Amino acid sequence: MSSLPETALAIADAVRSGAISARAVAERTLARIEAKNPELNAFVTVAKEELLAGADAVDAKRARGEPLGLLAGVPVALKDALCTRNLRTTCGSKMLGAYVPPYDATVVTRLRAADALVPGKTNMDEFAMGSSNESSAFGPAKNPHDPSRIPGGSSGGSAVAVAAGLAPVALGSDTGGSIRQPAALTGTVGVKPTYGRVSRFGLVAFASSLDQIGPFATDVRSAARVLAVIAGPDPRDATSAAAEVPEFEAACGRSVSGLRLGVPDEYFAEGLDPAVEASVRAAILRLEEDGCTVKRVSLPHTRHAVATYYVLATAEASSNLARFDGVRYGLRVGGESRGTGTASALRAMYGATRDAGFGAEVKRRILLGTFVLSAGYYDAYYAKAQKVRALVRRDFDRTFAEVDAIVCPTSPTPAFRLGEKTADPLAMYLSDVYTLPASLAGLPAASVPCEPVTFAGAAGALPVGLQIIAPAFREDTVLSLAAAAYPS
């Protein structure tokens, strides 16, 4: 099994050519999950029978002489916020602990059409609310570089699955940095597409104006192929864009010579770990040596991004999570049979269900979001935050008139220890300070590994991420620079 290829592209090419069987790939995947998952807690549901059946179907398809898809035989781990037909989708919450959707998310349908395999569902912060994977009802996923440390969140399980070799690629969702931050902290490639590039149909919503689905991978080209498979308009998602999907893989081989890169002062200020800064600046220097020109730029409203995000995202969360009430689906605590009972009994059931079903971080965000939307506070908080969001976007628009892309750190620090920030929500929220602005502006961005750095007390060198941000629908620019910065 050790001789089987590791990257998604190599696996797909080998399965299509008949050099290996999809069954062999699936069996290796299951063996690795069995060996490593008990310690790392990357998967909360392993789809053994589905994985093997899918692999056999791919092999049978090839035996019949039928053409195979772009991801033939490639295991793609799925964040547990993506609906999967006949496979439970929990969102890392007791509220949906036994929920089995009757349909697939659009991205899952597209993966299956490309002959990808589904090994299971990955751990995540509850309802994608967190920066460390510690709010999961299933316990935290653990960073394979040092299991005493967090992998980042909220898509921590997907990042760990790829970093530990349990799957060559995975899907996550990114609302304020939930793909890019865990990618940086686990040494993987993570891509957040432009808002609207990928359908959100079948993604359990956190904040609908921010959520996006994107890939994790061990290499940039594999991430580009997965993105090409899942991207494109979808009539079931009114926010999906009709924009043409470029040749993302071809962009990975494009020269970056002549591209203008902006280095924002606000991303290299107080709070950035000096060792992280040195690693990121070394990566930027390599791009400069490849022919890019580099200039200092300013994104002045960056300092308001954290506050703005935590008003808007929590407001949307309080609305989206209202549906989890013990009536329609999911957990139910107390009350009469569904659809009966007095008004007071119904209110009591609502309260008991939501109190038992939601964890502390989700409750905190629902309360905050309900407050900022309440009478007398809407204009002071929510409406004002929308105005600041527009200013953040204008900062990027102005800067992109001068440069082709922005390069900066993904995270201000390396992975911190489990439990280190759970008692300080503000410190946890600041972990996403460099990823939130691109989310608020709906822009494509990626994190690629820089040179790992040794930090005091760590078991070994810890990963650092370079973040690349480009104008809307210019994922090709992001991928070109990512491939140049991380030529894996």
The two structure tokens encoding residue 284: 């930027």
CA angle (147, 148, 152) in 5-degree steps: 75
Using CA atoms, how far apart are residues 208 and 286, in angstroms rounded to an integer? 37
Using CA atoms, how far apart are residues 226 and 429, in angstroms rounded to an integer? 29
Single out the residue of 184, 257, 269, 191 nearest to residue 224, CA to CA.
Answer: 191
Does residue 154 have an active-site annotation? yes
Q: Which candidate in 178, 222, 279, 439 is catalytic?
A: 178
Cα separation values, 203 from 212, 270, 368, 473, Å: 9, 36, 23, 21
Using CA atoms, how far apart are residues 13 and 391, in angstroms rounded to an integer? 46
Using CA atoms, how far apart are residues 429 and 236, in angstroms rounded to an integer? 32
Q: Which candidate in 79, 121, 142, 421 is catalytic?
A: 79
Q: Which candidate in 135, 154, 173, 411 is catalytic?
A: 154
Does residue 178 have an active-site annotation? yes
Single out the residue of 192, 412, 461, 471 nearest to residue 280, CA to CA.
Answer: 412
Using CA atoms, how far apart are residues 416 and 239, in angstroms rounded to an integer? 36
By residue count, the chain amounts to: 488
Q: In angstroms, how far is CA 281 from the centroid of its own chain?
A: 24
Pair 462, 452: CB distance under 8 Å:
yes
Does residue 79 have an active-site annotation? yes
Using CA atoms, how far apart are residues 459 and 375, in angstroms rounded to an integer? 51
Q: Which residues are catalytic?
A: 79, 154, 178
